[in-house]
Structure 1
């Protein structure tokens, strides 16, 4: 198979396998192709395939049975991925101590790229916030968030020095629809620096747009170090 992107090959294999699972093409119990077959398909070493499948096994999407092969397992974490919860609750469910730091917070004019996420007209202002969430004083999640202030007028008077914007929005603003995209990427310089990992290390990224009826409220990009998933879902509360 000809390589068509700069994404590390094991991440492309990982994403392809996850797409097959989460789209329903590969159902729970399906015996996936052998590593040797996948290595031939992607024109790579068996070790590269093994790296991707090992990560998927750790994340709960696959299970390996001795002498039988590798099978699709119903991921126990899938329902959590579909929920809108606070990052604080994620940390506390792991029995770790949560803390939070506001990195930047600015009111600025919307730019062309922002309109992809919030669908707001030119000339409008948005709230642009970056913050970092910690578990036991270790970086856990880097949050980048844009907020449509026309949809949330009360937010103009809110300071997020002590409370994360996502937690505040969840308590104060009703929502009727959300769209998730969950995927594996290599950490950029900015993300790596904030998460205290190496540039290019694998990250789990959740991009979420939340809206109330037809009005988009907020877009968030949540970057985590560690397990990788790829999921797209639209749902209601």
Structure 2
């Protein structure tokens, strides 16, 4: 008895799962052009209509972009962060269904410079732990992190191996914060930031700069730089006064 030919729905799911796995695993990175519909149909021995339905579903899920007369391309990952929340970068990456990896570039204890004292709103001398790191989504750089930890308030940070634990994760667990300030601005990739993000000089980037305090004083000052095309900032708010006209 001959095997029955798989149902169209089964073939549809098989192709969808196969292409999605290639994208999520990084085998097909952002910007990669998918084979044309006719080639995919031939490869899977299905009709072009079946392939078209698969590509439409992938596009609706935000995994690919379909460009008229050019074909289908793996979409750049898009993350939306709320301005008034402190997000875990690993959680942001995993929300994209990508593997997370973190690399500590440098950790150095030193005296705070005058601009750094100003950032911490301190007048006297103090020690800081200066940390530089890169966060990855799959094999692609996701963002860079430049962080200062105020050792006058968090002395235990000097003994932590931040090569194993991202500082943001450690601080959220070990040092409860009572106030935070965000500053968001656009900039161009320069120097080591461009190199670490694998971007050309001057490529647009989005910077999230944050300061946090505890009851004992300033805790950390951090600057996180994202490639502009992979990140968006979202704010949700309500009117200050009920009945106020919309602007």
TM above 0.5: yes
Conserved 8 A contact 1:204-1:225: yes
Partner Cα separation in structure 2 for residue 146 and residue 182 of structure 1: 18
Residue in 1 that maps onto 2:132: 130
Q: CA RMSD in A?
A: 2.2
How far is 1:214 from its partner? Answer: 6.5
Residue in 2 that maps onto 1:186: 188
> Alignment partner for residue 148 of structure 1, among 147, 150, 172?
150
> Alignment partner for residue 221 of structure 2, among 206, 210, 219?
219
Q: Give per-residue Cα distances to partners, 1:89-137, cap 9 Å, x unaligned.
A: 1101111100010000000011101012112343311000000000002
Residue in 2 that maps onto 1:116: 118
Secondary structure of the equivalent of 2:156?
Answer: helix
Residue in 2 that maps onto 1:25: none
Partner Cα separation in structure 2 for residue 119 and residue 232 of structure 1: 27
Secondary structure of the equivalent of 1:175?
Answer: coil
Residue in 2 that maps onto 1:58: none
Secondary structure of the equivalent of 2:87?
Answer: coil
Bigger Cα Rg: 2
Residue in 2 that maps onto 1:175: 177
Partner Cα separation in structure 2 for residue 231 and residue 99 of structure 1: 25
Residue in 2 that maps onto 1:5: none
Residue in 1 that maps onto 2:76: none
2:198 aligned with 1:196, yes or no? yes
Q: Pick closer, same or farther for the CA change 1:148–1:139 going to 2, 3 Å.
A: same
Conserved 8 A contact 2:84-2:235: no
Residue in 1 that maps onto 2:106: 104
Partner Cα separation in structure 2 for residue 231 and residue 86 of structure 1: 16
Conserved 8 A contact 1:181-1:230: no
> Any gaps of 5 or more consecutive residues in structure 2?
1-78, 237-247
Q: Pick closer, same or farther for the CA change 1:232–1:217 going to 2, 3 Å.
A: farther
Conserved 8 A contact 2:88-2:168: yes
Conserved 8 A contact 2:83-2:235: no
Residue in 2 that maps onto 1:82: 84
Q: TM-score, normalised by structure 1?
A: 0.62
Q: TM-score, normalised by structure 2?
A: 0.59
Q: Pick closer, same or farther for the CA change 1:77–1:232 going to 2, 3 Å.
A: closer
How many residues matched?
157
Q: Pick closer, same or farther for the CA change 1:230–1:152 going to 2, 3 Å.
A: same
Q: Give per-residue Cα distances to partners, 1:65-110, cap 9 Å, x unaligned.
A: xxxxxxxxxxx946x2321121111101111100010000000011
Partner Cα separation in structure 1 for residue 106 and residue 99 of structure 2: 23
